[in-house]
Amino acid sequence: MMAEILHGWEHFPVPYLDEVAIYSNSWEEHLNHLNGILTKIKDAGLTIKPIKCKFAEDRVKYLERTVGHGIRTPNEVKVKAVLKFSVPTAKSQVKAFLGLAGYYNHYIPMFSSIVAPLTETLKGRLRKGKINWTEECTRAFKELKKNVASAYTIRT
């Protein structure tokens, strides 16, 4: 519903269920964004709870991201979890790693191409939970970690 209400304003709000974070490049721009979003919410017949709101924050943590100064950055804790992840030895571990790293796919160009060797390990009928880990998988695993770290470094 929030995505529908905010249609046409996708570049600076981050909606999730009944919440929305708004980030802008300047204070003036932020006031315009805030006014526009609040007008859209009002026009949709919805209200906000001021007690649940934070206004004029420099940065806020929202949906495992830090939002502020006109950008969204990956959450440091999640990035560290990706970087500390051991080489998977079972399908469940590959799925867990892909889920964790996949949360930041929009920060990584060509994400699906990079992870292709890893998703390939999930196919087939090897013994329950077993995977066929290849050199290609190792390269993809390391490249994905490097890209997640780089995305975090560039945006902080």
Total of domains in the chain: 2
CA 127 to chain centre: 33
Q: What would the mean pLDDT of 83-102 be, rounded to a whole number? A: 91
For residues 39 and 48, give the distance between their C-alpha atoms in angstroms, rounded to a whole number: 11
Rounded Cα distance between 61 and 59, Å, is: 7
User: What is the per-residue pLDDT across 112-154, written as a single tens digit (0 to 9) for each?
Assistant: 999 999 999 988 766 666 888 999 999 999 999 998 888 765 5
Q: What is the pLDDT of residue 40?
A: 87
First to last CA, the chain: 31
Would you say the pTM of this structure is higher than 0.85? Answer: no
Residue 56: CATH number of its domain: 3.30.70.270
Q: To which residue do tokens 């969204």 refer? A: 72
Residue 64 and residue 11 share a domain? yes
Query: Could you tell me if 83 and 141 lie in one domain?
Result: yes
Confidence of residue 156 (pLDDT cuts 50, 70, 90): very low
The rounded percent of the chain whose pLDDT value lies above 70 is: 81
| Number of DSSP helices (H) and strands (E) in the chain, helices first | 6, 5
Last residue of a domain, one of 23, 49, 72: 72
In the structure, what pLDDT confidence band is assigned to residue 56 with cuts at 50, 70 and 90?
confident
